[in-house]
Amino acid sequence: MATSYNSLLGKRYETTTLIASGGEGEIYALSSPHQEKVIKVYTKNIDQQQTEKINKMLNFTPSQEFLKQVIWPIDLVMNKGQIQAIIMKKANGTVLNKLKNDTKYSWSLRVKIAKNFCGLLDYVHSEGQVIGDFNSNNFLIDEQSGFVTMVDSDSIHFKDTNGKIHRCPVALPEIVAPELLDVNFTSDPLPTFNQESDYWSLAIHIFQLLTIGWHPFSAALMRVNGKSLPSAASVQHQRVKNCQTPFFR
């Protein structure tokens, strides 16, 4: 069932089909004349910190190269002083998480993706920003060119035009840098993420791209004296902290 929304910039948007849903909200396609955009409708209340952050993001004007690779909020829908939805440019591609684990994708494509991923991060850092949340579901890949597009950018570790840092409140433990494994991203002093922690997360993704899904700090399940040792997931964090990996010194 179509739903209509009136935006902060005075535009009217009407939803068509549901594209995706997650913990924060649902993303819908839009009818003409806005079919090149999507709307993310929040299904949970947006607190004051996140409201301020998204409003500041709307006023931020990065380079066109940045905007080609990062899907940025371009309009808002407000309801009783709270953000109800954000409007963004539509993006297409295969989710990184699916692609990197699928053997059908060639080595040459994987190398292209790795290079383009580095380029994306360079554009983000050149604007004084830090990604923070490197969830592989937040990156879409063009299967022909290897072009990488970042979506769901409202979770970014954002620095506004006044230099104030707004939180990235989430991060996947298997991707985050070792010094951040015990950090509370919703309450610990800012900044939590930085460019170096972004490089770590990028390196994890590139390693997985080039090894068809293997995590650099994972290991095969072992049996000793007929008993299984703890699985990779349960001991992976400790190996990351201790820099213990079966792949390199």
Percent of the chain with pLDDT over 70: 93
Q: Which of 54, 51, 11, 57 is nearest to 34 (CA)?
A: 11
* Alpha-carbon distances of 217 from 17, 96, 131, 201, 238, rounded to whole Å: 40, 19, 22, 13, 9
Model confidence pTM above 0.75: yes
- Reading the block at residue 60, the tokens are 């931020």
- DSSP result, 99-161: HHT-TTS-HHHHHHHHHHHHHHHHHHHHTT-B-----GGGEEE-TTT--EEE--GGGSBEE-T
Q: In the chain, what is the greatest distance between 2 CA atoms, to the nearest angstrom?
A: 69
- What single DSSP character describes residue 180? G
Provide the b/e sequence for 51-89 (b: ≥16 CB within 10 Å).
bebbbbbbebebeeebeebbbbbebbbeeeeebbbbbbb
pLDDT value for 222:
47
Query: For position 192, what pLDDT does the model report?
Result: 95
pLDDT per residue as tens digits for the range 182-219: 899 999 999 999 999 999 999 999 999 999 998 888 86
Query: pLDDT tens digit string along 94-108?
Result: 999 999 999 999 999
237 by Cβ neighbours in 10 Å (0-12 / 13-18 / 19+) ranks as middle
Structure confidence at residue 195 (pLDDT): 97
**How much is the pLDDT for 238?**
78
DSSP classification of residue 33: T
pLDDT at position 44 is 84
Contact between 208 and 100 under an 8 Å Cβ cutoff? The reply is: yes
Side by side, which strands form the sheet with 139-141? 94-95, 139-141, 148-150
The whole-number pLDDT of residue 242 equals 79
Q: Which pair of tokens denotes residue 146?
A: 């290897």
pLDDT tens digits for the chain (249 residues)? 789 999 999 999 999 999 988 777 899 999 999 999 999 999 888 888 889 999 999 999 999 989 999 999 999 999 888 899 999 999 999 999 999 999 999 999 999 999 999 999 999 999 999 999 999 999 999 999 999 999 989 999 999 999 999 999 988 888 999 999 889 999 999 999 999 999 999 999 999 999 999 888 886 554 445 554 555 555 677 778 877 787 877
pLDDT tens, residue by residue, 21-40: 877 789 999 999 999 999 99
pLDDT score recorded for residue 227: 54
